[in-house]
Structure 1
Amino acid sequence: MMQLNALSTRPFIGAKDYAVSARFYAAMGFTVTQIGPTLSVCVNQNVVFYLQDYYDKAWIENTMLFIEIEDLDTCHRQIKALNLPRQFTGTRLSEIKEETWGREFFLHDPAGILWHFGHFINT
């Protein structure tokens, strides 16, 4: 079996309104650095992704990312305190849900990207 010896995974996500999405991720605590006229890199500790000034409705509405969180309750409280749905049209935040595998909550960004924030049950 091949060993990747990877250092990171950095997905590319789109934005319906690039400037609004950049402000949204900055409000969430990401450092948003523009690296080209239509591309930024967003970094918050070990979570890194590229934000593109590109929108395709079908692609955006089917983009999901999962972040494994050590302390899900604290993370949820912190995101809830940002009051993102009042600041950014289209943003939605769910409550924490209990699943058979662990717990999670969901956050939709202004374009419709679905973020899963979760914590796995140790097995």
Structure 2
Amino acid sequence: MNFETVEIKAFVPARDFALSKAFYTDLGFEVAYSSDDLAYLKAGECSFLLQAFYVKEHAENFMMHMLVTDVDAWWQRVEASALAEKYGVRALPPEDRPWAIRDFVITDPTGVLWRIGTNIDRAPEDAR
């Protein structure tokens, strides 16, 4: 028997499908496939499916977490492209978290919360 896994993808909701695709392209994802109601987006080895589906309670409680090698470079892209202003979304700059990740927070136009971060060394006093 072989229980090796290959991939797992989330289906991310989009209230305005075209607007969300544009947001994710500006964020740094490429659209590898798209139909009228589904898009396959990827950045490096990370990917997800964007769907033309929206339920407010679902979307506003949906969260994605992506680890990257250089969180500050990703944040610079967010700032340089003025994503927060362009799409009217919330974006908070990177911080070192007590759980040994440096990350920033950004919401997409639908209200999906993203945490994009890099693993960092845990401080000795936090290693308990």
Q: CA RMSD in A?
A: 1.8
**Which position in structure 1 is the counterpart of 2:78?**
79
Count of aligned pairs between the two proteins: 120
**Identity over aligned pairs, percent:** 29
- Maintained 8 Å contact 1:80/1:93: no
Distance in 2 (alpha carbons) for counterparts of 1:15 and 1:70: 27
**TM-score using structure 2 length:** 0.84
SS in structure 2 opposite 1:43? Answer: strand
Gaps of 5+ in 2: 123-128
Q: How does 1:89-104 map to 2 (within 5 A)?
A: 89=88, 91-102=89-100, 103-104=102-103
Distance in 2 (alpha carbons) for counterparts of 1:29 and 1:118: 14
Distance in 2 (alpha carbons) for counterparts of 1:45 and 1:120: 17
SS in structure 2 opposite 1:5? Answer: coil
Deviates further, 94-103 or 110-119: 94-103
**TM-score using structure 1 length:** 0.87
SS in structure 2 opposite 1:96? Answer: strand
Runs of 4+ in structure 1 over 4 Å off: none
Gaps of 5+ in 1: none
**Bigger radius of gyration, 1 or 2?**
2
